[in-house]
Amino acid sequence: MVSIGDRAPDFTLPKAGGTTYNDISEFTLSDALEDGPVVLAFYPAAFTSGCTDEMCAFRDSMDAFEDLEAHVYGISVDLPFAQNVWIEQENLNFPMLADWNHEVIHQYGVVRPDLYGSIEAARRSIFVLDTDGVVTHKWVRSGENPDFDDLVDGLLEHLS
């Protein structure tokens, strides 16, 4: 698993922007780092209650992330078309990255092999990267889901 102090593995994935069903473009992490710190929020699956609660906590705090010039990206193994529908449905105000071939969850060591007993997905986890691509903060779920508002507030404190 990627640890604090490690250089985050670079990757390129489809990015769902959420304005339409087919709002899909290419995202490369190293390019995004040029614009400021990056928060990668891995989640198991769109449309599920815990993932919706977590991403809505990010949504509700997006002004604070923008004030810190930090960019948030959700990452799951969902296809970008589904992510676009979910973004629109939940009024999410940041893009989602589609790791549909599961390469990035393996690179970061956040594979959840048993979602619903049979599906490999992302383990709920968050990595904060500085503009050099170094991991400055990491959170990986253990046990029950946390209070997501508190989790996001803690991330903001770490970035400021």
CA atoms of 134 and 82, how far apart (whole Å): 30
State the sign of the Cα–Cα–Cα–Cα dihedral 94, 102, 39, 7. Answer: negative
Query: Is 119's pLDDT higher than 90?
Result: no
* pTM listed for this prediction: 0.95
pLDDT at residue 108 tops 80: yes
Question: What pLDDT is attached to residue 112?
Answer: 86
**Residues with catalytic annotation?**
51
Q: Which domains does the chain have, with CATH numbers?
A: 12-159 (3.40.30.10)
* Average pLDDT of the residues in 32-57: 96
Give me the half-sphere count of Cα atoms (radius 13 Å) on the Cβ side of residue 88.
14
Give the model's pLDDT for residue 159: 85
